[in-house]
C-alpha cells in the first residue's frame, strides 16, 4: 500500500520507488526541524559544559587545572 511498487516487470515506467511517495514535503520539514533542534541542543550543551568547567577551575584553582592538564580525574582526586 505504501510502496508505490507492485511489480518490477514494468521497470521502464517506474519512477520513485521509496515508501510513501508524495510526502516529501513533510519529510523535508521534519528533517529541517531536527537540524535546527540539534544546533539548539548542541549550543546549550556545550555552553553548559564550559560553565561547569569554569566553576570547577575557579574552585580548585587554575594552577591545579594546569598541573593536571587533560586529566580531569586526577585533578578531582587531588583536590
Partner 1 sequence: MSDGLDSLVVIFTEFYYWVTVVFMFLIHVGFCVYEVGASRRKNIQHTLMKNTLVIPLVTITFFFFGWWIYFAFPAFPLMGGLTDAPHAVPWSELMGTHLGGAITVQTESLNVGDHGWWARINGVFWAAFLLFSWTTASIISGAVIERVKTQAFLIIAVLVGSVTWIIDAAWGWSWNGWMVQLWGFHDAYASSVVHGIAGGSALGVLLVLGPRLGKFAADGTPRDIPQNNPWFVTVGLFLIYTGFWGFYAACNIPIIDFTNVVLGQETDSYFTATNIYLTPTSLSAITFNFLMSLSGGLLAGYVLSKGDAFWSYSGGLAGVITASAGNDLYHPVEAMIIAMAGVWVAYKMHYWVERRFKIDDAVGAVAVHGYAGFFGTVVAGFMLWGYPSNIAGAESLGWFGNVDGVAAINPIGNFLGAVLMFWGLGFLPCWIVAKILNGMGWLRVPREVELAGLDTHDYGDAFPYFPYRDTAMEEIDRQLARGQG
Under rule CB under 8 A, residue 59 binds partner 1: no
Under rule CB under 8 A, residue 79 binds partner 1: no
Distance CA 39, CA 60 (A): 32
Q: Which residues contact 57 (CB under 8 A, 6 or more apart)?
A: 65
Q: Find out whether 27 and 46 touch, Cβ atoms under 8 Å.
A: no
Q: Which helix (H) or strand (E) holds 8?
A: none
Under rule CB under 8 A, residue 17 binds partner 1: yes
Which residue in 30, 66, 78, 79 binds partner 1 (CB under 8 A)? 66
Under rule CB under 8 A, residue 63 binds partner 1: yes
Distance CA 68, CA 70 (A): 6
Under rule CB under 8 A, residue 20 binds partner 1: no
* Chain positions contacting partner 1, by CB under 8 A: 11-18, 21, 24-25, 27-28, 31-32, 35, 38-39, 42-43, 46-47, 49-50, 52-54, 56-58, 62-63, 65-66, 68-73, 75
Amino acid at each position: 500500500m505504501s510502496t508505490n511498487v507492485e511489480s518490477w516487470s514494468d521497470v521502464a515506467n517506474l519512477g520513485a520507488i521509496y515508501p510513501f511517495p508524495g510526502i516529501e514535503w513533510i519529510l523535508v520539514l521534519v528533517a529541517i526541524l531536527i537540524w535546527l533542534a540539534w544546533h539548539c541542543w548542541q549550543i546549550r550543551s556545550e555552553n553548559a559544559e564550559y560553565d561547569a568547567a569554569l566553576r570547577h577551575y575557579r574552585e580548585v584553582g587554575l594552577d591545579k587545572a594546569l598541573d593536571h592538564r587533560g586529566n580531569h580525574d586526577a585533578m578531582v582526586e587531588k583536590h
